[in-house]
A and B are shown apart, each in its own frame.
Chain A
């Protein structure tokens, strides 16, 4: 139970950061991506701030032998950039540019009750399920953890 509070608090801080930073407003996101128009660069500071803080804290955290509540830290064996990664990222970017929602802000916005989110989020889960189905039926390819890493690392990280 204690461990779940860590995940709950992480999700809570994450959503507050998205909202205060402006990521949950799709028109901000589209303004950020509209480099040829009246470019709104402010969201670059959201990603910059997040990367800077995490890059500073991560090495300190990894000095520990293990995470507070689970077996061990994930390992990320070097992996090549491959077509699947680039194709997935490319498709994601198109959807992001169409709606102005990426997964975190869309889920955070569910509580707003905006009809747009109730169209977007179920479609997003359908897309996720479709990717999973394709990958399961295709090769033996597993669905990897976010970022990168292998399924083994994923299982290891999960004690």
Chain B
């Protein structure tokens, strides 16, 4: 039983280290949607660290593909219209995270660790609509 949550806990600890490292070196909040999203309208002098963080994510992905390929499976979607649904999901995730200034990392990790009320409200909200969506897709439709 213990092993079922040890790996998630280790993964979480690594994420906690990663966001702490970015705060230590750059004084920045490691919210992925914000770090990478701001590259769509790059501001001079504020590009390099974002590109390097993005590059680090990709390098990490490569390391995972090599060491632990089972961790990178394709998305499993309800049959029929899967591709359209995936596109709609991507649009919602991109639009929503920019409108709400953060995603699972910016609000769910950095914000909660900071004790931010806004991040708590955002995290509870995206958890709730995520749960509701899965409920609809899996148990109603």
CB interface residues, B 56-110, toward A, < 8 Å: 56-65, 68, 70-77, 83, 85-110
Contacts of A107 in B (CB 8 A): 32, 36, 54, 57-58, 61
Query: Is chain B's binding surface mostly helix, strand, loop or mixed?
Result: helix
- Compute how far the CA of A13 lies from the CA of B52 in the bound complex, rounded to whole angstroms: 13
Please count how many residues in chain B sit with their CB below 8 Å of the partner chain's CB atoms: 116
Contacts of B75 in A (CB 8 A): 26, 99-101, 114, 116-117, 120
- Compute how far the CA of A126 lies from the CA of B64 in the bound complex, rounded to whole angstroms: 27
Are B90 and A8 neighbours in the complex by a CB distance under 8 Å?
no
Q: What's the nearest-Cβ distance from chain A to residue B73, in Å? A: 6
Among the listed B14, B54, B90, which residue makes an inter-chain contact with A126, where contact means beta carbons less than 8 Å apart? B90
Contacts of B42 in A (CB 8 A): none
Query: Is chain A's binding surface mostly helix, strand, loop or mixed?
Result: helix
Q: What's the nearest-Cβ distance from chain A to residue B118, in Å? A: 5
Among the listed A15, A50, A61, A91, which residue makes an inter-chain contact with B95, where contact means beta carbons less than 8 Å apart? A91
- Given A11-B59, A85-B118, A147 and B97 touching (CB < 8 A)? no
Contacts of A76 in B (CB 8 A): 114, 116
Contacts of B73 in A (CB 8 A): 25-27, 112, 114
Among the listed A20, A53, A144, which residue makes an inter-chain contact with B16, where contact means beta carbons less than 8 Å apart? A53
Q: What's the nearest-Cβ distance from chain A to residue B3, in Å? A: 10
Q: Which residues of A contact B (CB under 8 A)?
A: 3-27, 30, 33-37, 42-58, 61, 64, 66-74, 76, 79-81, 84-104, 106-112, 114-117, 119-132, 134-135, 143-149, 157-158
Are B64 and A15 neighbours in the complex by a CB distance under 8 Å?
yes
Among the listed A9, A16, A129, which residue makes an inter-chain contact with B40, where contact means beta carbons less than 8 Å apart? A129
